Amino acid sequence: MAQQIVPNIWCNRTAEQAGGFYAAAFDAAGFDASAAVTARYPTEGLLDFQREFAGEALVVDVVIEGTQLALVNAGSEFSPNPSISFMVNFDPLFFGGDVDAARRGLDALWTKLSDGGAVMMPLGEYPFAAHYGWVQDRYGVSWQVMLTRAEGEPRPLIIPALMFDGPAQNRAAEAAARYVELFAGFPGGSQVGHQSPYGAATGDATADALAFGEFRIGEQWFMGSDNGSGTDHGFTNGVSLQVNCADQAAIDALWEGLSAVPEAEQCGWLVDEFGVSWQIVPAALGELMQRPGAYERLMQMKKIVIADL
């Protein structure tokens, strides 16, 4: 089944360069990874601020062991921040059960991602992991790399991790329940997974706020936790979640259930009640955009209406 929710990362004219960087970094860690331009800006019908991008790359898809991340090539309007990071789960099962090989792969990826980046939590041993680190790479994207216990329940290699702070502080559990409710009709269903509260007030997090939480939409897992650092980051369009919908009915239902900031609605983009940015699009968007004038019509829409593209 094609990936239904694709994290989109906003790049300041660096999508092609960043795609190559990520493909090489994960290749060094022992994973199958690639990057390719999958969409380009048209040469006509662009808005004024987009005209300088005519004919250039619009989307670069990075595929890591079958998991897709989309890099959006645009301007400096937005940038990623630690509010949405990517957990890279170094499960020894990915390395034939070899814990040492998993650790070597983690170290190799850390070396690549931290080159030119900023370390948020140094690579080392923590109460929750024998080997873990958090880094913001040279493009501003945050990664958490963790060696997981071989006896633990298997999880995907890459898991988007949402950190709730600012106006959404201490709402991680509420958000997980809301998303699971909204996506219950997705193929494979949805569920709330393991949740662990802080147990004591930590930074701006209350004792019952989530130090760790997870939820599943379809076949994809996500993490959701409350920020205990005391430093707010806030969700932005720097990282958005693109939902590939089967038909107009699915678009309509998710748009109705998620959109909470009317002024943020534009060409399929919306912001939910927690501040998270989503793109609600038809799964066949690439094909639909081949229609003459489709890009120009898309730019005039808020919610995407397939029949009008």
Among the ranges given (45-49, 146-150, 201-205), the one the predictor scored with the smallest mean pLDDT = 45-49
Give CA separation, 53 vs 7, 57, 293, in Å.
22, 8, 17
Return the biggest CA–CA distance within the chain.
Answer: 58
CA distance 143 to 65: 17
Give CA separation, 265 vs 294, 300, 304, in Å.
18, 11, 10
CA distance 263 to 257: 16
Mean per-residue pLDDT over the chain, rounded:
95
Chain segment 253-299, per-residue pLDDT in tens: 999 999 999 999 999 999 999 999 999 999 999 899 889 988 889 98
Decide if pLDDT at 16 tops 80: yes
- Give mean pLDDT, residues 151-178: 93
- Write out the two tokens for 5: 């929710």
- Write out the two tokens for 140: 């501003």
- 180 pLDDT tier (thresholds 50, 70, 90): very high
- 26 pLDDT tier (thresholds 50, 70, 90): very high
Model pTM score: 0.96
3-state secondary structure at position 306: helix
Q: Which DSSP helix (H) or strand (E) runs through 173? A: helix 172-182
CA 12 to chain centre: 17
What pLDDT is stored for residue 302 in this prediction?
A: 97
Among the ranges given (66-75, 144-153, 160-169, 194-203), the one the predictor scored with the smallest mean pLDDT = 144-153
- 45 pLDDT tier (thresholds 50, 70, 90): confident
| Amino acid type, 17 | Q
What pLDDT is stored for residue 1 in this prediction?
A: 60
